[in-house]
Amino acid sequence: MAGIVIFGGHGKVALLLAPLLSARGDEVTAVIRNPEHADDVRATGAQPVVLDVEHEDQAAIAALLAGHDAVVWSAGAGGGDAARTRAVDHEAAVRSMDAAADAGVRRYVMVSYFGASPDHGIPADNPFHAYAEAKAAADEHLRSSSLDWTVLGPSALTLEDGTGRIDVTASESDQVSRANVAEVIAQVLVDDSTVGRTIRFNDGQTAIAEALRA
């Protein structure tokens, strides 16, 4: 049994992840910004905690994380305003990483995206540019940290049912169900071979546990 904190606890992936973790006996804390989402979170077996990561400081986040075993970052600004995208997807994410280190929570799983990279190639006039920049910077900060990190790079997300099978060998982004992403996160949290790895994946034909070990 592990104590796991999910940032972005009311997101579509998080709402699929929390029941998987709760069912295997983990104690799940789901961090949400809107208190009206608390009942949705409780229905997954997770305990909701209202905290605005965009505006809370590192010390407040560290206090929340203290005593837990792992962090999953699945939060995001949701696109749109470039300044808010940077504030959430980069700055708040980095504060959560540094807070995890302060709190002694070593395991950290970042949900990024398939093409995330400092050389992402997204033009500055593309609306996606701010997100690409923010995610690249956050991922690099995590990789340079002393945490036991894993960066996950799912491709375009769908609402299809989970198949429990993925492809971690593809060089091109395709698509992957949010249900499969949730299963990947759950598996990564119990597979130490994924520490220190960036794992990009699509839906595929290989069972998730097997694919992650490959």
Measured at the CA of 24, the angle between CA 21 and CA 30, to 5 degrees, comes to 25
**pLDDT at residue number 23:** 97
Q: Reduce the DSSP state of residue 67 to 3 states and report it.
A: coil
Quick: pLDDT tens for 176-206.
999 999 999 999 999 999 999 999 999 999 9
The answer to whether residues 200 and 153 touch, using CB atoms and an 8 Å cutoff, is: yes
DSSP state of 182: H
Quick: pLDDT tens for 133-147.
999 999 999 999 999
Q: Reduce the DSSP state of residue 200 to 3 states and report it.
A: strand
**pLDDT at residue number 78:** 79
pTM of the model: 0.96
**pLDDT at residue number 82:** 87
* List of domains in the chain: 3-213 (3.40.50.720)
**pLDDT at residue number 118:** 84
Task: State the Cα torsion 8-12-16-17 to the nearest 10°.
Answer: -30
How many other CB atoms are there within 10 angstroms of residue 36's CB atom? 10
**pLDDT at residue number 68:** 98
**Is 121 exposed, middle or buried (CB count within 10 Å of its CB: 0-12, 13-18, 19+)?**
exposed
**pLDDT at residue number 28:** 98
In whole angstroms, give the CA distance from residue 170 to residue 180. Answer: 16
pLDDT less than 70: residues of the chain: 80
**pLDDT at residue number 7:** 98
